[in-house]
Amino acid sequence: MKSRYSMLQKKKRKWPYIISGSILGVLIVAIVGWIWWNDWDIDKSIAALGISLKTEESVPVEEKPVEEPVEEEPVVETPTVVEPEVDMSGAKGYVGNETLPEEPTYVEGILIASKKYPLPSTYAPGESKEARAAFEEMAAEAKLSSYELVAFSTYRSFEYQTTLYEKYVSNDGQEAADRYSARPGYSEHQTGLAFDIGEKHFEQHFARESFGETEAGKWVAANAHKYGFIMRYPNGKEKITGYMYEPWHFRYVGKELAPKVFEAGITLEEYFNL
119: phi then psi, degrees, rounded to nearest 5: -110, 160
Please tell me which residue in 127, 188, 238, 246 is annotated as part of the active site. 246
- What's the DSSP call for residue 224? G
Residue 228 near residue 254, CB atoms below 8 Å: yes
63 among known catalytic residues: no
Dihedral of CA 195/198/200/205: which sign?
negative
Residue 251 near residue 193, CB atoms below 8 Å: yes
DSSP assignment string, 139-201: HHHHHTTT--EEEEE----HHHHHHHHHHHHHHH-HHHHHHHSPPTT--GGGGT-EEEEEETT
Determine the length of the chain: 274
Which residues are tagged catalytic? 246
